[in-house]
Amino acid sequence: MASAIVRGLQHSALAKRYQFCATTSSAKSAQKLSKTLKIPVHNDNARLIRESDILVLAVKPQQIKEVLKPFTLLFDQNKVIISLCAGITISSLKKLLHKKSPIARCMPNTPLSIKEGVSALSFSKAFPRKSKQAVLALFSELGLTIEISESKFDAFTALCGCGPAFVFEIAHHLEQTAKSMGLPSSLVSPLVAQMLYGSSALIKYSNKSPQTLCQEVCSPKGATIEGIRVLRSRQIAQILQTTLQASRKRAHALGKLL
Ligand SMILES: NC(=O)c1ccc[n+]([C@@H]2O[C@H](COP(=O)([O-])OP(=O)(O)OC[C@H]3O[C@@H](n4cnc5c(N)ncnc54)[C@H](OP(=O)(O)O)[C@@H]3O)[C@@H](O)[C@H]2O)c1
């Protein structure tokens, strides 16, 4: 996820004010990532913490305790922390950092890498106003950015953090089926991508609800309504509801790992 953010920010004018540096768990993976992202990457977390004003925590939620614990004393109220860790609350992070650490909890998604992301942020009480504006401005470079209360984070995670994977899964099955129906393999992927992109753009720009847009393309006894009938008879609404609820539940459970 951190790589997606770096990629998205690499060509932004705003990000030129910052110097990027990252760590990984080993010298080997650091070297590899440095080559890919074209930024300095090493595996010395203490050095990174000492040398940085803003730290982005982007390890798996299960790893956060083990990764931060040896360095608790290196944090202070001047080091801004942005945590991307799903489920992990600001109050539980405070226990591993300085008690006055300014902490932003952030849930981004991978389309950030092409500046088409969605991010939600929540800030700890002591978060300095100027730093808050700077963090919001940085994420706004990468797509839609909203501030929400922490109580909404798990639902947001399910919808927008996990959502791209659900769309990719659907796109994969559309591609497979399109191929099996005889559409040329080389064309299927761009066709599916453009169909999804165009449909999303209509939802975004037409000022119509998805339900209205759907009705508008369903002429009675037409081909579209036949397909829609199948989706409804197979309980698409329930499938999606159960999907988001499962992800929200898991995001919540990840928060209990600290
Ligand atoms: N993936 C998403 O779409 C998404 C969306 C929103 C939020 N998030 C959140 O973003 C976080 C990262 O997820 P991810 O999918 O990007 O995980 P990931 O691909 O496994 O990346 C984790 C990174 O942390 C590094 N790391 C592991 N242990 C370390 C240590 N001791 N010191 C320094 N670096 C260490 C890993 O380096 P090595 O390669 O050397 O192991 C790797 O570069 C998670 O907390 C997740 O909840 C993810």
Reported as a single tens digit per residue, the pLDDT across 133-165 is 999 999 999 999 999 999 999 999 999 999 999
Q: Is 56 close to ligand 1, i.e. is its CB under 6 Å away?
A: no
If you average pLDDT over residues 110-115, what whole number do you get?
Answer: 94
CA-to-CA distance for 113 and 4, rounded, in angstroms?
4
- Model pLDDT, residue 256: 84
Give Dmax over CA atoms of the chain in angstroms. 69
Reported as a single tens digit per residue, the pLDDT across 224-246 is 999 999 999 999 999 999 999 99
Tell me how far the alpha carbon of residue 19 lies from the centroid of ligand 1, in angstroms: 20
Atom index in ligand 1 nearest the CA of residue 110 equals 3
Tell me how far the alpha carbon of residue 84 lies from the centroid of ligand 1, in angstroms: 9
DSSP-assigned states of every residue in 37-81: HTS-EES-HHHHHHH-SEEEE-S-GGGHHHHHGGGGGG--TTSEE
pTM for the model stands at 0.91
Tell me how far the alpha carbon of residue 2 lies from the centroid of ligand 1, in angstroms: 7
Tell me how far the alpha carbon of residue 151 lies from the centroid of ligand 1, in angstroms: 23
CATH number for domain 163-255, candidates 3.40.50.970, 3.30.1490.20, 3.50.50.60, 1.10.3730.10: 1.10.3730.10
CATH number for domain 2-150, candidates 3.40.50.720, 3.30.1360.200, 3.40.50.10420, 3.40.50.1980: 3.40.50.720
Segments of the chain assigned to CATH 1.10.3730.10: 163-255
Among 60, 251, 32, 67, CA closest to 163: 251
Segments of the chain assigned to CATH 3.40.50.720: 2-150
If you average pLDDT over residues 244-250, what whole number do you get?
Answer: 97
